Amino acid sequence: MYETDKIQNLLREGRVAEAIDTLKNAIASQPTDDHAHYLLGNAYCRLSDWRNAIASYHEAIELNPQSPAVEAEKKVKEILNFYCHDLYNP
């Protein structure tokens, strides 16, 4: 199992790959842990791995529609949909 504080410390220390491995192992043993899926999405966001972040958030949302992954997914989509109109229309 994982500890949320441990995962957050790993992410803070830049040990994202280790956090991802820890969360994947936790999900393998507890696939219905929506919070682990949410944290995994956050870890993927640290790597700008948007596809896996969104997939992890979707999984969390399917398990718990009230998950904080709902807002996190919206923010990722905003990032992906952003572009500066002035750059395209000088």
Crossing angle of helices 50-63 and 34-46, rounded to 10°: 160
For residue 71 the two structure tokens come to: 């807002």
pTM: 0.87
From residue 13, give the alpha-carbon distance in Å to each of 6, 8, 44, 46, 72. Answer: 10, 9, 15, 12, 21
Task: Tell me the torsion sign for CA atoms 22, 38, 64, 54.
Answer: negative
* Cβ partners under 8 Å of residue 21, min gap 6: none
pLDDT at res. 82: 81
Query: Along the 90 residues of the chain, how does pLDDT read in single tens digits?
Result: 679 899 999 999 999 999 999 999 999 999 999 999 999 999 999 999 999 999 999 999 999 999 999 999 999 999 888 866 666 655
